[in-house]
Structure 1
Amino acid sequence: MKANKTINLSTKTNLLEQDLYEYKLQDVSQPELFREIFPYNEVPKVSYNYRHVPMDMPEHIYITDTSFRDGQQSREPYTTQQMVDLYKMLHRLGGPNGIVRQTEFFVYSKKDRDALERCMELGYEFPEITTWIRATKSDFELVKNIGIRETGILVSCSDYHIFKKMNLTRKQAMEKYLGIISDAIEAGLHPRCHFEDITRADYYGFVVPFATELMKLSKDSGVPIKIRACDTMGYGISYPGVSLPRSVPGIIYGLKHYAGVPSDMLEWHGHNDFYKGVVNASTAWLYGAGAVNCSLLGIGERTGNVPLEAMVFEYASLRGDFDGMNPTVITEIAEYLEKETGYETPPMTPFVGRNFNLTRAGIHADGIMKDPEIYNIFDTELILNRPPMVAISNTSGLAGIAVWINQYYGLKGAEAIDKKNEGVVTIKELIDQEYANGRITVISETEMIRYAEQYVFHRDVDYEDK
């Protein structure tokens, strides 16, 4: 660490501020694996140093997408046409202000390159098409003439990767990375550096010194260099006062404060291994990251990435509106993925699962019948084109049956069926008898249609169970 006695008046706080240290690379002989935090034979520990950093929400925040890169690493790859279709939907979802700012593509197969070229031909400004490569010259050759502006470059930053995977020292790794990034700049590209495994990295011994060198390179070259802080294993923690390397506020604050990375060049990429994907991404925004990287429905490596649709709603919650985004497209995307790719969305998944706004309890259905706002998280029909639903079982009661019929047949106002309707009472008696006889499954849609036609509408129609 080098003393720096420069004092400057901050235009943001209007106070004289002093940074006491400039962090230099610590080229250690043995890897720092933080065994007290990551013992491996035990659950990782959450340690505190009680250091608090200020929230620093950027003026502009964005969502970026990795569905065609990280999102394809845990599922059957998309076809070229599927990628084109999904890209069009991402464009509509992001709206005219481009809140869904970028999406990244692999370039290793002909299928991926064909999809990238077809998406580029659409001429959309947003999401901007970018690529991803490893920090090798052979990968660099794949993208330098493809016609894109920005490419992601893998720069693993923990000693788990530097020592154990690449068999390099920190100095060797930094020199290798800086060489590849310089080559990218020389070819006219804007590098996006993926700081892989940042939540297990020696923050002041490697992360900050490396980021500082990148900012110097950016200043010297006049080319913006992005840093994507990658919580590769989902170890990030959002709690105030948590110590590094797991502290999400600390990571974002330090990159800005000590390495001078501006918010518009700082991005968060999280995973959901410990159920913290969404809250960590929101925390990154709050403490200064200009973008959070996501995938559609959270599909990705192991437990998945940060779900893009979740951050659409986080954006609206934090900013007060959708800023031009069209959230109804989320429902279209979920339906498309199920029908066209065979992906089975877990039914309880927020916003996109078939049960996310479905109730089975009769008391809840009774509340929905009186006012959907009582048990529905927001107007899901308006915002997601998904009206609240009920499933019919032995706990649905008269209200649940009435709500189901009204929803299925679109009956509103004076036309709506009341739970005291004779037909509804008859249907409930028949359903109760089913469960008294040992039934354990819910009543199917076909059965409910048959019941409603016969006992409520008194129409003699033959419906057979599917």
Structure 2
Amino acid sequence: MENRQVRMNSHNNLLELEEHIYPLVDVKTPNVFRNLFPYDEIPKIAFNDRIVPHHMPDKIWITDTTFRDGQQSRTPYTTEQIVTIYDYLHRLGGTNGLIRASEFFLYSKKDRDAVYKCMERGYEFPEVTSWIRASKKDFQLVKDLGMKETGILVSCSDYHIFYKMKMTRKEAMEHYLSVIRECLETGISPRCHLEDITRADFYGYVVPFCLELTKLMEEYKIPIKVRACDTMGYGVNYPGAVLPRSVPGIIYGLTTHAGVPSELLEWHGHNDFYKAVSNSTTAWLYGCSGVNCSLFGIGERTGNTPLEAMVFEYAQLRGSLDEMDTTVITELAEYYEKEIGYKIPERTPFVGKNFNVTRAGIHADGLLKNEEIYNIFDTDKFLNRPVLVAVSNTSGLAGIAHWMNTYFRLPKEKQVDKNCELVAMVKAWVDEQYDEGRVTVLTDVELVRVINEACERLNIPKYEIKTLE
């Protein structure tokens, strides 16, 4: 017990034993946790039933990697597109700046031009930050641009240290610390990206490395951020799961044993096992202030945590949007589809064409009586996306009228009802389709065509589409 002392935890008023020594374990052969990651089998989720407490920070926020990780998996954005999206992110984050930062590549002239133009906007949030590899050549780019903060890749698993970098843990740590020290020497705040943390030796490498970062932060009096990167999406949020896959264990260990303050800690997740959103929320719950996201989840392989998803996770955890403007999400979706040419899958939550469209006949009947029955929230209020009922042989005159009113966004004084001649004509066409043996739901394109043909016959103006096409 000579290396421990008892201290009071000011958050929960409990006496705790505080350990002081976490030395680097400099192994000769890599620890790749073959018991958890047998490459010729599905990865294993093991449990030791060690539970750590919830510890959500007083303030939580979102950071953005749309222009960094998001550009690694698609055609690069133009400079103009980057600046436009950055403007949207500023509006979405609201007056409280809940989208705190956005990171950029610096390697091409296009990216550097975008950085200059975004910085010229003068927004406090999202802060324009960069991302570099842990090399002095890359760091020169940051100095040349005069940026306040940069991300630095500091891969932490033995998969990366031994197999990719061809180093030992000690050599890797010394290399990383030399680059971080140079960053601090010029007054720039480093953000250390602990790549592949869910396959790393947490107490043998990650915690000792973060303790060295704490020493540097105390020496230079400059904040050093730590980003825990679930690079392969192996993280799990289950209580009692073992490290290195346990998200609660990682966040608890970084804040409690490595001494990383919540406000300097970020989680960066991937969606390889469909856990990006739940893991990011879990990181918030257990003590991480920042979650790093990409618009629509666009990112390496299966993608990152979708930024729009975490906006609504925030609202559910906090009970408030805290001034975030969620209608911007729909504007972004329209911009991506119409200007960038990116096709958003139709059933994508919050942004897909069909995310709030009811097709089942029995569901449609309930929705027409009260939309709360089958709509997740007031999607018209928060996303400018009124709930829709798809038209089929069970829709009836009322269902067709409801579809027209919502799809065309008709103001109250111009709305149609089931007694309207136009609705009756459309209903006759719908009945004919199913009488001839059709079994599928009618598409929006078909309905718009038939409605406007009927408008021509009735000599009334055609309808203009105002929702996502």
TM band (smaller chain): over 0.9
Distance 1:376 1:73, change over 3 A: same
Query: Counterpart in 1 of 2:39?
Result: 40
Q: CA deviation at 1:427?
A: 3.6
**Cα pair 1:366 1:399 within 8 Å, conserved:** no
**CA distance in structure 2 between the partners assigned to 1:416 and 1:373 by the alignment:** 21
**Cα pair 2:456 2:462 within 8 Å, conserved:** no
**Cα pair 1:3 1:22 within 8 Å, conserved:** no
Report matched runs for 1:223-234 at 5 Å.
223-234=222-233
**CA distance in structure 2 between the partners assigned to 1:35 and 1:378 by the alignment:** 45
Q: Deviations for 1:41-81, whole angstroms, at most 9, x for unmatched residues?
A: 11111100000000000011010000000000000000000
Query: Counterpart in 1 of 2:149?
Result: 150
Query: Counterpart in 2 of 1:280?
Result: 279
Q: Deviations for 1:333-387, whole angstroms, at most 9, x for unmatched residues?
A: 1111111111100000000101001112232222222222111111111101111
Alignment size in residue pairs: 464
Q: CA deviation at 1:460?
A: 3.7
One-letter code aligned to 1:303: T
Q: CA deviation at 1:14?
A: 3.0
**CA distance in structure 2 between the partners assigned to 1:162 and 1:273 by the alignment:** 22
**Cα pair 1:394 1:435 within 8 Å, conserved:** yes
**CA distance in structure 1 between the partners assigned to 2:312 and 2:99 by the alignment:** 12
Distance 1:414 1:142, change over 3 A: closer
Query: Counterpart in 1 of 2:205?
Result: 206
Report matched runs for 1:85-124 at 5 Å.
85-124=84-123
One-letter code aligned to 1:216: K
Query: Counterpart in 1 of 2:342?
Result: 343
**Cα pair 2:79 2:111 within 8 Å, conserved:** yes
Q: Does 1:317 align with 2:316?
A: yes
Secondary structure of the 1:211 match is helix
**CA distance in structure 1 between the partners assigned to 2:29 and 2:277 by the alignment:** 34
**CA distance in structure 2 between the partners assigned to 1:395 and 1:237 by the alignment:** 43
Q: TM-score, normalised by structure 1?
A: 0.94
Secondary structure of the 1:38 match is coil
Query: Counterpart in 2 of 1:31?
Result: 30
**CA distance in structure 1 between the partners assigned to 2:240 and 2:276 by the alignment:** 19
Q: Does 1:14 align with 2:13?
A: yes
**CA distance in structure 2 between the partners assigned to 1:450 and 1:344 by the alignment:** 22
**CA distance in structure 1 between the partners assigned to 2:446 and 2:256 by the alignment:** 63
Query: Counterpart in 2 of 1:242?
Result: 241
Q: Percent of aligned pairs with the same residue?
A: 61
Q: CA deviation at 1:391?
A: 2.5
Q: Does 1:126 align with 2:125?
A: yes
**Where does the alignment leave 5 or more consecutive residues of structure 1 unmatched?**
none
Q: CA deviation at 1:12?
A: 2.4
Q: Deviations for 1:138-174, whole angstroms, at most 9, x for unmatched residues?
A: 1111112311111000000000000011110000000
Distance 1:462 1:93, change over 3 A: closer
Q: TM-score, normalised by structure 2?
A: 0.93
Q: CA deviation at 1:443?
A: 3.3
Q: CA deviation at 1:8?
A: 2.4
**Cα pair 1:83 1:115 within 8 Å, conserved:** yes
Bigger shift: 122-131 or 401-410? Answer: 401-410
Distance 1:238 1:447, change over 3 A: closer
Secondary structure of the 1:141 match is helix
**Cα pair 2:452 2:462 within 8 Å, conserved:** no
Q: CA deviation at 1:293?
A: 0.1
Q: CA deviation at 1:457?
A: 11
Query: Counterpart in 2 of 1:356?
Result: 355
**Cα pair 1:454 1:460 within 8 Å, conserved:** no
**Cα pair 2:19 2:257 within 8 Å, conserved:** no
Bigger shift: 407-416 or 258-267? Answer: 407-416
Q: Deviations for 1:270-306, whole angstroms, at most 9, x for unmatched residues?
A: 0001110000000000000010000011100011000
Query: Counterpart in 1 of 2:329?
Result: 330
Distance 1:106 1:453, change over 3 A: closer
Secondary structure of the 1:113 match is helix
Secondary structure of the 2:209 match is helix
Distance 1:409 1:164, change over 3 A: closer
**Cα pair 1:345 1:353 within 8 Å, conserved:** yes
**Cα pair 1:4 1:21 within 8 Å, conserved:** yes
Q: Does 1:379 align with 2:378?
A: yes
**CA distance in structure 1 between the partners assigned to 2:207 and 2:53 by the alignment:** 18
**Cα pair 2:148 2:189 within 8 Å, conserved:** yes
**CA distance in structure 2 between the partners assigned to 1:175 and 1:453 by the alignment:** 70
Q: Deviations for 1:178-234, whole angstroms, at most 9, x for unmatched residues?
A: 000000000111000000000000111101111111111111211111100000000
Secondary structure of the 1:22 match is coil
Distance 1:463 1:420, change over 3 A: closer
One-letter code aligned to 1:406: N
One-letter code aligned to 1:237: V
Q: CA deviation at 1:459?
A: 1.6
Query: Counterpart in 2 of 1:185?
Result: 184
Report matched runs for 1:402-413 at 5 Å.
402-408=401-407, 410=409
Distance 1:409 1:292, change over 3 A: closer
Q: CA deviation at 1:104?
A: 0.3
**Cα pair 2:22 2:208 within 8 Å, conserved:** yes
**Where does the alignment leave 5 or more consecutive residues of structure 2 unmatched?**
464-468
**Cα pair 1:68 1:104 within 8 Å, conserved:** yes
One-letter code aligned to 1:212: L
Secondary structure of the 2:268 match is strand
**Cα pair 1:361 1:400 within 8 Å, conserved:** no
Secondary structure of the 1:18 match is strand
**Cα pair 1:98 1:126 within 8 Å, conserved:** yes
Bigger shift: 404-413 or 284-293? Answer: 404-413
**Cα pair 1:309 1:330 within 8 Å, conserved:** yes
Query: Counterpart in 1 of 2:264?
Result: 265
**CA distance in structure 1 between the partners assigned to 2:115 and 2:129 by the alignment:** 9
Q: CA deviation at 1:429?
A: 4.4
Q: CA deviation at 1:6?
A: 2.3
Query: Counterpart in 2 of 1:67?
Result: 66
One-letter code aligned to 1:124: Y
Distance 1:348 1:294, change over 3 A: same
**CA distance in structure 2 between the partners assigned to 1:335 and 1:421 by the alignment:** 31
Q: CA deviation at 1:424?
A: 4.5
Distance 1:383 1:52, change over 3 A: same
